[in-house]
Structure 1
Amino acid sequence: MKRKNYIACCLLFILSLSVQSIFAQKANFISTLTEQNHWVDSVYKKLSRKERIGQLFYVRAHTNKGQHYEDSVAMVIQDEHIGGLVFFQGGPVRHANLINSYQKLSKVPLLIAMDGEWGLGMRLDSSVSYPYQMTLGAVQDNNLIYKMGQMVAYDFKRLGIHINFAPDMDVNNNPNNPVINYRSFGDNKYNVAQKGIAYFKGMQDAGLIVFAKHFPGHGDTNVDSHYDLPLLPFTRARLDSLEEYPFREAIAAGVSGVMIAHMSIPALDSTKNLPSTLSRPIVTGILKDSLGFKGIVASDAMEMAGVTKYFPNGEADVRAFLAGNDLIELSVNSQNAAKLILKAIRKKKITKAEFEAKVKKLLAAKYWAGLDAYKPTTPKNIIQDINRPAAAELIQQLADAAITVLKGDSRTLRQSPFKKTAIVSIGVDRPTVFQMELSKWYANSMIFLVGKNTSLTDLNRMLQTLKGFDQIFVSIHDTRLRPASKLDYSSDVKFLISALAAKPNVVTSVFANPYTIAGLPGIEKSAGILVGYQKDDAMQRSAVKVITGSMKPAGKLPVSVNMYFTTGMGMSF
């Protein structure tokens, strides 16, 4: 018996060690930069100047563009000795296999990066998508967000990816922002900072290199820098106190990287049409010198029109390099850009010490990520590993913590389980999870569906039918891939929402970007209003839990929608 107990204890101990190893806290990257690193020094000495310049460049990679595209990337790896790759669309197993293939071609192991603000699902099929940052902005328990960071890090590392260009730490105080919006934690700078730190610490502690973006703040723009150069016309005092605040906090908390936005900011650099990415006063003067950031500075994608519009043919890349960026992401022509950088070095436009520090910093990141002892990824069971039950459980926990009640109390929301009940889902063409789950609690219920462009005749007919019901639950859904600030519903369907809200005993749940509420006048008349932030099944289940009284709401609105619903609102009962 004693032997059996001993064996059982040993097995439990081994199991606990294996779990701890997955999420073991790693030493902070910034703290390692001041230490002597023999691997970094040795690799640096072996590289030619051309190869050292190559370490600055990170180029685009896909697994959904065919063999010719994959081969072209392989040639760049071999010919230009680049430092890393940024992976985009494709599948997780294909990505893992291609990463393994590309690593074999590189003299120095590659750092592999991806934009994964809500996990691998932001780019890859067959992968987990965690909640958007706007949804996380409603969550009051930051420990859940830290845990999400750990889970995302596990997924990335499982595929052989070392860098996540996340979190987004922009303060989204412009509801019409076309590029940040739901990718932000909200419009409260303190909430953005706290949530961003919790998220990146979860990832970083679990061994992922992370980048707070987009410095000095892309939240108050109405131009997408993918297509043009946004202008940030604010004073230095405003930028210091608002836009830069989350980044200062992130730096103080030890973030490993910061990504620079492509924006014209006259208060910080008056050079006409100069993107912040290419501004030495901003990148070096403010970020590195004033704020004291010692980690990796990355440019936003150098292929974006916000930077190429005024600086084509590789000029943008050399300017970004001279401005103080360490990592040059997605150059339009990395080969030509490398030649221009070599020319700038020969002309002594940058000191030898500064150039060496850039390259060694990126090599130190490779060492921190474990590339000094590189091992290929095992493709077997990747799909099962990244779609593990623990991920689904955490997604539901986050949804439960985010669901926000803007109006109503427990009695108003629950209504009567015995009365004749209509459950109406709008913006869909098939029964929703919300309807299926809620109908289990209301035996005498009927389901109604309204499409985004249902005819006025059909809408009027349904309104007449609904007069025969005692109470109505309405759910509003944005089924688009990305939840925009305005719903793509017809004006007739929007009028229906207003007409339903004016009826007694109507509870409305919004599974869409919270800003969409502003475009639905009259919705505030509903007896009860819940916000679910996005279309996901988990959010719909959370709303049903609150309505039926099986869970207390805890979420708080992360943005101001209109005069009725402002930042921080959320009923608790």
Structure 2
Amino acid sequence: MKKLTILILLITFFAGSLTAIEKPGFLKYSNDQWVDSLMKTLTVDQKIGQLFMIQAYSNQKNQKTEEILKQIIQFQVGGVIFMQGGPLAQSQICNSFQKASNVPLLVAIDGETGLGFRLDSTINYPAQMALGAIADDSLIYRMGFEIGEQFRRLGIHMNMAPVSDININPANPVINYRSFGEDKIQVARKSWLYASGMQDAGVLATAKHFPGHGDTQTDSHLRLPVINRTKSELDSLELFPFSFLINKGIGAVMTGHLQVPALESNTKIPATLSSRIIKNKLKKDLGFEGLIITDAMNMKGVGKVSSAELVVRALKAGNDMVEIVPNLGKAIQAVKLAVKSGIITKDEIDSKCRKILAIKKWIGLDQHKLIETKNLVSDLNQNKYLLTKSQLYEKSLTVIENKNNILPIQKLDTLKIASLALGSVQITSFQRMLSNYTQVDHFNISQNPSDTEIAELLNQLKSYNLVITGIHGLGLYPSRRFGITDQQIRLTEGLDSQHTIFAFFGNPYALPNFPQLKNAQSLVVAYQDDKDVEELAAQLIFGARDAAGKLPVTVKDFYPIQSGIGIRNIQRLKYTLPEGVNINSGYLQHLIDSIAELGIEAKAFPGCQVLIAKGGNVIMNKSYGFLTYDKISPVQNDVLYDLASITKIAAPLPAVMKLYDEKKINLDAPLSNYFTEFKKSNKAELTVRDVLTHQARLQPYIPFYLERETKSILRKRAFKDQPSDQFPIRISKDMYVRNDFEKQVISDIVKSPLLSKKEFVYSDLGFGLLRFVTERLTTMTFQEYLNKEFYKPLGANSVGFKPYERYPIPQIAPTEDDQTFRKELLQGFVHDEMAAVLGGVSGNAGLFSNANDLAKVMQMYLQQGYYGGKQYISPETINEFTKVQFPQSSNHRALGFDKSNPLTRDEKNKFPATDASPESYGHTGFTGTFVWMDPKNQLLFIFLSNRVYPSRSHTAISDLNIQTSMHQAIYDAIQNGLN
């Protein structure tokens, strides 16, 4: 029923569009005063000059500015089409051209995918074949409008796009991926959305290549292609998009260098020179009144006679403007002679010239201003444009194999994953993004590996039960088999297809060259090899993004047109621009950068990591500064920080929540039920709820490493500088603790006096003991349980204790140069003394992580215990643990979490941000760490630093209120929006 409804809507849409012709908007200016005055003042020769569009470059290799200036002055040409170059150089050259021209120039570019199709330092939107896979056509209109905005900013008024050819022939050597596909309705609709977006932005759109260049194996740049279709076939297929666009109001049509026997019986006359095709078919039958412009007249497909003669024939055939003539002077002279001899009438010249001037009026050239070069490149690369590009790529991603529903990937703890970049010897953007989700080992191999290299690689990959393979470096055209090598094919055949996911970054027509891909567990077609689409494909594979793309073409013997399997995301973190959540990137980055740089300059910390996520979208994951003040090792996003007390909400708390869900822990039962050492002590009746809210009357802290009497001398016979059977537990680089010291810690806590009053007093002791409670209830070590139930399934692989056992020391931020206890700089070993004497594993401190992996744990909380396809903790438990437990008292803590309380925060060092909602919660860490979640605003903020380097006495981070100021800056950016 749904399909029938869509079909009826499409029929209605197209039927309505073909009944009433919408004329090009510029035609209303045909008799405008400005146009009339020019027509009266221009000589015939000058009017002839208006019919020519000459070629210009802004790159140094092809720049011939002075020569073109002379042509503009001498022949008074109507327009310039720019080719390769850069925006700044082009703007300066264009300004000089406009100054030299008596009549403002119509400036064009062949920008099928935007400015980046021709110019460096500009945006290249997806190719039209990728756009053909998209269901959300509103994005294509937005792209067209944005391209129009960028063109106008650069002083460009006309785009030689969209390609409106239906690519019927997979072997087409010139159209191919430049087409929206092989479905005439899709091609027509998407062409118009692209064109109308541009025209609404004030840029003339050009449908090409009339009457249709899709069914050929010949490149018209080299020789004349033949379109062997009957007239009825042409009317129903090739001409359909052009007819549709004409009825909608397309401004211009480009005629193609094509031999079309059904429309032009003389096989020596290409469409460009055929009055039957242009005057009879395009103008009379289809009713087109807009600008008709030739394809480049220097292409070999147009003919072998002199260019001057061809230009006369092109204008006589009905073209209004000729583009890129090899010998301009001779061509103009030939047209003049044709007018004098009556081959072309003055009325014809006037009609063509008036049309061109009307276009110039429509685009505002009657009040033309030169291009402002200030901020030009940044204006052309605004993040709102980059966001649209990213969204287009995302919507184009097409899953055409998904055996056993392997996508999106789940059960990360059961997988040993390798990534293989086939065709790239360097780590790709695809691989880097894969690593954001879990541990992935990366392998790279060239397009031409030796047999030995292939064998070695395949042998290495045997130890993995999932290989994610990106196929890179493919050609977009079918010549030379899309650049695919025999070695690439052989390597894919050697992969275990039952344990392989392929991401194909190329033209889908190339798929049959890899027969093995049909047997893969999953195949994602990404259409192009671009950084954005690589990152998005990785996000799709891990369940952060949906897949809704459909193949816009038939892949012979593989997949029919419209193949595509819908994939729904499973709420893993996405990585996107702030604009994706309605925040201005520049504004947010300025605020965060300035605060981070202030902290570094003031030596509040040598460096830091900042992660911001909104609505599950990571909009900033950035590292600042260095690991130490000597500025040798810059902070990278994979650097691990000592989380200090954030451990409380990232280790024992999720464990207690899960055990509470399983009814193994009662919050209002005595902790002594689970920690029996308390049963005969003064702590026998302390409840779990009171411990979690820091009102159990426990001492704030005990210096376990010091003699109890002196509290200044290290405990005797407790520590050694060398390991032994009695001292096997390493607590720093050069210190080991006695194997039974854990019992000493427990004994000291049991014997400690209780505070006199039941009120909030922050204490590490109760949380430290939760490690033992977890281990006793689960019969697993604390790290094993957390890995099994949380960190490994979440893909939070860097979150853990004792990082020195798992990571290179240089990858871990140092903390304090501890001259009181361990007598060394601590790097890779926990800073907190209680956690240290417990061997680095405790419930109060000891966890290390980078910001990205910690975010997975915290986002799980924000998503009501759900993440990546798994419900870790029930929503009811999340709600219970994140609410204030004793609202009538002065204790405003949740269970384990700190809470936002605007009424009780200090003015000097209040946290969290003033604008954080009362529902928000989080925690801080002594080492300079901070994490806060706001469910109302769906905001996650993580700040990791080593502010205690080289000494804990440094208080600048709190004196300057760095963390809270940064937190508030995010809310300010949210309020500012995209302004």
Instruction: State the TM-score, normalizing by the size of structure 1.
Output: 0.92
Q: Within the alignment, does 1:375 sit opposite 2:369 as a pair? A: yes
| 1:88 paired to 2:90 | no
Post-superposition Cα deviations, 1:508-547, rounded to whole Å, max 9, x if no partner, equal: 1101111110211121000111100000111112212221
SS of the residue corresponding to residue 487 of structure 1 reads helix
Structure 1 contact 133–182 (Cα < 8 Å) conserved: yes
Distance 1:457 1:68, change over 3 A: closer
Amino acid at match of 1:438: L
SS for the counterpart of 1:131 is coil
* Partner AA of 1:205 in structure 2: D
- 2: CA distance, partners of 1:212 / 1:173: 17
Compared with structure 1, are the counterparts of its residues 29 and 238 closer, same or farther at alpha carbon in structure 2 (3 Å cutoff)?
closer
Indicate conservation of the 8 Å contact 2:176/2:477, yes or no. Answer: no
The offset of 1:326, in angstroms, is 0.2
* Whole-angstrom distance in 2 between the partners of 1:261 and 1:429: 41
Equivalent of residue 266 in structure 1, options 261, 264, 271: 261
User: Is the counterpart of residue 422 in structure 1 residue 418 in structure 2?
Assistant: yes
Query: Equivalent pairs: percent with the same residue?
Result: 39
Are positions 1:569 and 2:563 aligned together? Answer: yes
Of 102, 106, 115, the match for 1:111: 106
Question: 3-state SS of the aligned residue for 1:572?
Answer: coil
> Partners in 2 of 1:312 and 1:113 — Cα distance?
25
User: Pairwise mapping of residues 361-510 of structure 1 onto structure 2 (< 5 A)?
Assistant: 361-408=355-402, 411-413=405-407, 414=409, 416-418=411-413, 419-443=415-439, 445-478=440-473, 482=476, 484=478, 486-500=481-495, 502-510=496-504
Shift in Å, 1:507: 1.0
The structure-2 alpha-carbon separation of the partners of 1:483 and 1:129, relative to structure 1 and needing over 3 Å to count, comes to: farther
Find the residue that maps to 1:204 and give its secondary structure: helix
Q: Distance in 2 between matches of 1:245 and 1:42?
A: 39
**Counterpart residue number, 1:175:** 170
Question: Secondary structure of 2:260's partner?
Answer: coil
Listed as ranges, the matches of 1:126-275 within 5 Å are: 126-275=121-270
Secondary structure of the residue that 1:453 maps to in structure 2? coil
Q: How far has the Cα of 1:30 moved from its partner? A: 3.5
Distance 2:449 2:261 in 1: 48
Q: Work out whether 1:360 is the aligned partner of 2:348.
A: no
Residue-by-residue CA offset, 1:283-334 (whole Å, 9 max, x unaligned): 111000000000000000001111142x224111000000000010001112
Counterparts of 1:101 and 1:350, CA distance in 2: 33
Residue matched to 1:277: 272
CA distance in 1, matches of 2:296, 2:498: 51
- CA contact 2:26–2:358 (8 Å) conserved in 1: no
Which residue number corresponds to residue 515 of structure 1?
Answer: 509
Specify the code of the residue in structure 1 equivalent to 2:212: G
Question: 1:337 aligned to 2:326?
Answer: no
Give CA-to-partner distance per residue, 1:211-263, whole Å, 9 cap, x none. Answer: 00000000111111111111112211111111111000110110000000001
Contact 1:483 1:512 in 2 (8 A): no
Structure 1 355/109 Cα, relative in aligned 2: closer, same or farther at 3 Å? same
Aligned partner of residue 441 in structure 2, secondary structure? strand
**Which residue number in structure 1 is paired with residue 53 of structure 2?**
58
Structure-1 residue corresponding to 2:541 = 547
Task: Give the corresponding residue for 1:24.
Answer: none
Does the aligned pair in 2 maintain the 1:478–1:534 contact within 8 Å?
no
Partner Cα distance (2:428, 2:58) in 1: 33
Deviation at 1:410, TM superposition (A): 8.3
Question: Structure 1 regions of 5+ residues with no counterpart?
Answer: 1-26
1:529 is aligned, of 513, 523, 547, to 523
Indicate if the aligned counterparts of 1:410 and 1:549 stay in contact, CA closer than 8 A: no
Distance 1:255 1:449, change over 3 A: same
Of 306, 311, 314 in structure 2, the residue corresponding to residue 317 of structure 1 is 311
**Quick one: which of 281, 287, 296 aligns to 2:282?**
287
Partner Cα distance (2:404, 2:68) in 1: 57
Q: Give the letter aligned to residue 327 of structure 1.
A: M
Write the distance in 2 (CA, Å) between the matches of 1:82 and 1:124: 23
Determine if contact 2:512/2:558 at 8 Å carries over to the other structure.
Answer: no
Distance 1:212 1:99 in 2: 25
Distance change >3 Å, CA 298–CA 495, structure 1 → 2: same
Q: Deviations over 1:351-371 (max 9, x none)?
A: 443322111000000100101
* Partners of 1:551 and 1:107 in 2: CA distance: 53
Answer whether contact 1:33 1:361 (CA < 8 A) is retained: no
**Distance in 2 separating the partners of 1:222 and 1:562:** 16
After alignment, is 401-410 or 482-491 more displaced?
A: 482-491
1:71 is matched with: 66
Q: Is the 8 A contact 1:473 1:507 kept in 2?
A: yes
The normalised TM-score by structure 2 is 0.54
Letter of the structure 1 residue corresponding to residue 158 of structure 2: I
Could you tell me how far apart the structure 2 residues matched to 1:247 and 1:388 are?
A: 33
Secondary structure in 2 aligned to 1:504?
A: helix
State how far apart, in whole Å, the 2-side matches of 1:286 and 1:67 are.
Answer: 38
Distance in 1 of aligned mates of 2:314 and 2:553: 33
Separation in 1 of the partners of 2:416 and 2:403? Answer: 21
Measure the CA separation in 2 of the matches of 1:356 and 1:31. 16
SS at match of 2:237: helix
Contact 1:428–1:479 under 8 Å retained in 2: no
Match of 1:473, SS state, is strand
Q: Residue 3 of structure 1 aligns with which residue?
A: none
Q: Residues 452 and 488 of structure 1 are in contact (CA less than 8 Å); yes or no, is this contact kept in structure 2? A: no
What amino acid is aligned across from residue 239 of structure 1 in structure 2?
Answer: L
Q: CA deviation at 1:474?
A: 1.0
Distance verdict in 2 for CA 1:330–1:254, change over 3 Å: same
**Aligned residue for 2:885?**
none
Q: Aligned equivalents of 2:533 and 2:484: distance in 1?
A: 21
Separation in 2, partners of 1:159, 1:29: 23
Per the TM alignment, residue 68 of structure 1 is displaced from its structure 2 partner at its CA by 7.2
> What RMSD, in angstroms, separates the aligned Cα atoms of the two structures?
1.7
Equivalent pair of 2:173/2:477 in contact (CA under 8 Å): no
Secondary structure of the residue aligned to 1:340 is helix
Larger radius of gyration between Structure 1 and Structure 2: 2
| Whole-angstrom CA distance in 2 between matches of 1:114 and 1:123 | 8
- d(CA) in 1 for partners of 2:62 and 2:145? 33
The structure carrying a bigger helix percent of its residues is: 1
| Cα offset, 1:476, TM superposition | 0.6
**1:446-492 deviations in Å (ceiling 9; x for gaps):** 11112100111110111122121111111111265x56573323212
From 92, 98, 118, the equivalent of 1:123 is 118
The answer to whether the 8 Å contact 2:401/2:522 transfers is yes
Q: Indicate if the aligned counterparts of 2:47 and 2:349 stay in contact, CA closer than 8 A.
A: no
Higher mean C-alpha displacement, 243-252 vs 334-343: 334-343
Report the equivalent of 1:346: 340
Q: Which has the higher contact order (CA 8 A, sep 6+)?
A: 1
Q: Distance in 1 between matches of 2:197 and 2:369?
A: 23
1:171 Cα offset (Å): 0.4
Q: How many residues align?
A: 543
CA-CA distance at 1:65 after TM superposition? 4.1
Compared with structure 1, are the counterparts of its residues 410 and 213 closer, same or farther at alpha carbon in structure 2 (3 Å cutoff)?
Answer: farther
